[in-house]
A and B are shown apart, each in its own frame.
Chain A
Amino acid sequence: MAGSTLTIKDLHVAIDGKEILKGVNIEIKGGEIHAIMGPNGTGKSTLSSAIMGHPKYEVTSGSITLDGENVLEMEVDERARAGLFLAMQYPSEITGVTNADFLRSAINARRGEGNEISLMKFIREMDKKMEFLEMDLDMAQRYLNEGFSGGEKKRNEILQLMMLQPKIAILDEIDSGLDIDALKVVSKGVNEMRGENFGCLIITHYQRLLNYITPDYVHVMMQGRIVKSGGPELAQRLEAEGYEGLKKELGIEDETVGQEA
């Protein structure tokens, strides 16, 4: 069977009563890599948070489905077990819980009671993936994200991605704050996941990442909507001329979410 499909239709999202997303439409299929670009404060993280079910974000209308199943009716953990994954722009730090214990809980939550992964197998898997991502093996026994540098946190998000093998992943600024070596490693991790059973939505400000992970589609977000979609060449155009050219073309003066087109 081919991969899964995440379908988002006319999605409206509000935070504290303020509307941020104003009708987002996008479909991500297994095997596809989509990139969303866009200036600061245009709703990119809001979209990813709404998909995952962040408690602060309220979906006021529209729909999100995964293979036809209504994602909006699912709790956050159910969404994850259904196959969604979000690498967060700002991952939480959790004291006292080791990276390894956390990941094992996450894996076992998917496998269900009576079918837990053996400790040996888990350790082998984790070591292998950490080596692949050129992470210090000691990180497994450190508390989850606590005291991790910005780059280490991002790598750790990719480690989770690789361990959990979701159907559809959203990577929110996975490249921010990475030096060039770390960027290569993180890209290597994502490319390793590529395949017809894996769909991915990459949120980024930089064409640089897309040199390593070539997207199939590129979308631009402004004012809480996707205002333009295209292929990889769209990202290159933005890199060359910035957002001004596109804004002029679309007749947008202020791209932030407070404004109407």
Chain B
Amino acid sequence: MTTETKLPFDKEYVSSFSKEMSEPAWFAEFRMKALEQFDELPMPKPDKTKIDKWNFTQFQQHTVKSAPYSSLAELPEAIKALVETDAKNQTLYIQRNQTPAFLSVSEDLKAKGVIFTDLFTAVREHGDLLKKYYMTQAINADEHRLTALHAALVNGGAFLYVPKNVEITEPIQAVFVHDDPQANLFNHVLVVAEDNSAVPYVENYISTLEASATVANIITEVIAGTNARVQYGAVDSLEKGMTIYVNRRGVAGRDARIEWALGLMNEGNTISDNTTNLLGDGSTGDTKTVVVGRGEQTGNYTTKVVHFGRHTLGNILNHGVVKDSATLIFNGIGKIEHGASKSDAEQTSRVLMLSEKARGDANPMLLIDEDDVMAGHAASVGRVDPIQLYYLMSRGIPKTEAERLVIHGFLAPVVNELPIEHVKVQLTEVIERKVR
């Protein structure tokens, strides 16, 4: 197989798409510039996985048109299970392929100045905010070929803005549905939490079909201002025909906290990069990731916390289960920059292999350029402990159930962190289905 790197979409196409979406000039220019840079930029290089044969750039269609959902009652069952269909006053966005398909924002949040909308509406109506935060502070378009591709072709996503001093307690939810075999996802989520604000946000990426060859290039940016707190939960379950690049990055200001709880349950080959930049003194980055790999899948999951500010705390916890002949790689990176004194970089990565052919790898890396710091790491790759199974079975629990308990127990510390109860339940079900 040769890998075609020339893009199937040119300047003319991007320009006309931008017009069709009524984007402001600056945004169209932003796309154009990224498109120009695409050719010169290198591909990203995730540790321990060669991706030069992976197809991130060749696909037939840039956007598809899908019908919106007129009410929550009309949602397909698989999607209904993710949302509260009878809740009033909830804040929920559902996107179907590229189409904004449902939006509800609670009156209370509207009154407080919270903005939650699809990305295109945000670009049109909140241009100043987008101009300030969109691919400027967390991720730049010119980092590598895939960020440039994303910037040029972004075709969906959401914008969440929480003004100063607004503390949200009820989780805000976005569901990105993939149900068209021609749909490629260039999805962008931007969360801006201003000083002293707090917000729990949860998103689902879900395929309801098994498509042919499609591409997902997903970017999330979280900007947490001084003393802001963002809890970011995600459950990704995209299908196996997709080649998936997903980059979720946060920037924490002084005393800010960014907490990630990621359930990465994709069936397709996946490169995931989750980075938290602790810019402000006293800020915290806490990342919990749970992964199940199966089939022929290769998944490479990098979790990184970079300490710039003093007294910053980074905590990475990765748990993965891998079966069949799948490959699962965790790269945990704690980086402490010069001057980030009194900082603490901690990480734990564990992989449980359930079959002979499954391959797991956990690579902890500590890159430290400052003397007065603390750091620690633990990593393990192993199999289900037969003595644990013996103990459970000695109480009458059958072997398959004992294995199920051990596997769920292994993943529980991460699953339990998800801020929405029924998403937690859903993740548990996805795990159940995948490990059986």
Query: Which residues of chain B in 404-432 are interfacial with respect to chain A, using CB atoms and an 8 Å cutoff?
Result: 405-406, 408-413
Interface size band for A: 20 to 34
On chain B, the residues within 8 Å of A96 by CB distance are 408-413
| Contact present for B397 and A105 (CB under 8 Å) | yes
Task: Give the docked Cα–Cα distance between A81 and B393 (Å).
Answer: 10
Across-interface contacts of B412 in A (CB, < 8 A): 95-97
How far is the CB of B272 from the nearest CB of chain A, in Å? Answer: 22
B406 (CB) vs chain A CBs: closest residue: A94
Q: Using known A-B contacts A102-B405, A105-B405, determine if residue A94 contacts B391 with beta carbons closer than 8 Å.
A: yes
A37-73 to B contact mask, C-beta < 8 Å, 1/0: 0000000000000001111000000000000000000
Main secondary structure of the interface of B (DSSP, over half): helix
* B406 / chain A contacts, CB cutoff of 8 Å: 94, 97
Q: Which residue of A lies closest to B385 (CB)?
A: A92
Contacting A at CB under 8 A, from B341-396, are 385-388, 390-396
Is A162 interfacial (CB-CB < 8 Å)?
A: no
**Does A77 sit within 8 A of B, measured CB to CB?**
yes
Q: Which residues of A contact B385 (CB under 8 A)?
A: 92
A89 and B141 CA atoms in complex are apart in Å by 60
Q: Which residues of A contact B393 (CB under 8 A)?
A: 75-77, 80
Which residue of chain A is the closest to B408 with respect to CB atoms?
Answer: A96
Q: Within the assembled complex, what's the spacing in Å between the Cα atoms of A110 and B395?
A: 9
Known contacts A54-B390, A88-B391, A105-B401; is-contact A94 B396 (Cβ 8 Å): no
Q: Is the CB of A94 within 8 A of B390?
A: no
Chain B hits for A206, CB < 8 A: none
In the complex, what's the smallest C-beta–C-beta distance from A69 to chain B, in angstroms? Answer: 15
Number of interface residues, chain B, beta carbon within 8 A: 24
Q: In the complex the two chains form, what is the Cα distance from A129 to B390 in whole Å?
A: 24
Rounded to whole angstroms, the CA-CA distance of A236 and B413 in the bound complex is 49
| Chain B residues positioned under 8 Å from A95 (CB to CB) | 409-410, 412-413
As a 0/1 sequence over residues 162 to 195 of chain A, the CB contacts with chain B under 8 angstroms (1 = contact) are: 0010000000000000000000000000000000
Give the chain A neighbours of B402 by CB distance below 8 A.
77
Complex CA distance for A77 and B393, rounded to whole angstroms: 4
Chain B nearest CB, measured from A153 CB (Å): 11
- Pick from B401, B409, B413: contact of A94, CB below 8 A: B409
Chain A residues in 8 Å Cβ range of B396: 77, 80-81, 106, 109-110, 164
A75–B392 contact, CB under 8 A? no
Min CB distance A132 to B, Å, is 19
Contact A76 B409 (CB under 8 A): no
Q: Does any Cβ of A come within 8 Å of B42's Cβ?
A: no
- A49 CB to nearest chain B CB (Å): 9
Give the residues in chain B near A52, CB-CB below 8 Å. 390, 394
| A144 surroundings in chain B (CB, below 8 A) | 409
The CA-CA distance from A103 to B405 in the complex, in Å, is 12
**Contact between A76 and B394 (Cβ–Cβ < 8 Å)?**
yes
* B residues in contact with A88, CB < 8 Å: 391, 394
Residues of A within 8 A of B391 (CB): 88, 91-92, 94
CB-CB under 8 A from B401, the residues of chain A are 105, 109
Please, which residues of chain A bring their CB within 8 A of the CB of B388? 92, 94
A114 to chain B, nearest CB (A): 16
Decide if A86 is an interface residue (CB 8 Å cutoff). yes
Which chain B residue has the least Cβ–Cβ distance from A166? B396
Nearest chain A CB to B277's CB is how many angstroms away?
Answer: 30
Contact with B along A104-119 (1 / 0, CB 8 A): 0110011000000000
Whether A106 contacts B409 in the complex (CB less than 8 A), given A76-B390, A92-B388, A94-B392, comes out as no
Contact A77 B397 (CB under 8 A): yes
**Cβ 8 A contact of A97, one of B386, B399, B409:** B409
Q: Contacts A77-B399, A95-B410, A96-B410 known; A86 to B405 CB distance under 8 Å?
A: no
Q: How far is the CB of A109 from chain B (nearest CB, A)?
A: 4
Interface centre among B394, B397, B399, B408 (most CB of A within 10 A): B394
Q: Residue of B at shortest CB range from A83?
A: B396
Interface 1/0s, chain B 16-48, versus A by CB < 8 A?
000000000000000000000000000000000
12 CB contacts below 8 A, A to B, read A75-B399, A77-B397, A79-B394, A81-B396, A92-B390, A94-B388, A94-B391, A94-B392, A95-B413, A96-B408, A97-B406, A106-B397
Q: Which 5 A-B pairs have the closest CB atoms?
A: A96-B409, A96-B412, A80-B396, A92-B391, A97-B409
With A88-B391, A102-B392 given, name 18 new contacts (CB 8 A).
A52-B390, A53-B390, A54-B390, A55-B386, A77-B393, A77-B396, A80-B396, A91-B391, A92-B391, A94-B391, A94-B405, A95-B409, A95-B412, A96-B408, A96-B410, A96-B413, A105-B397, A143-B409
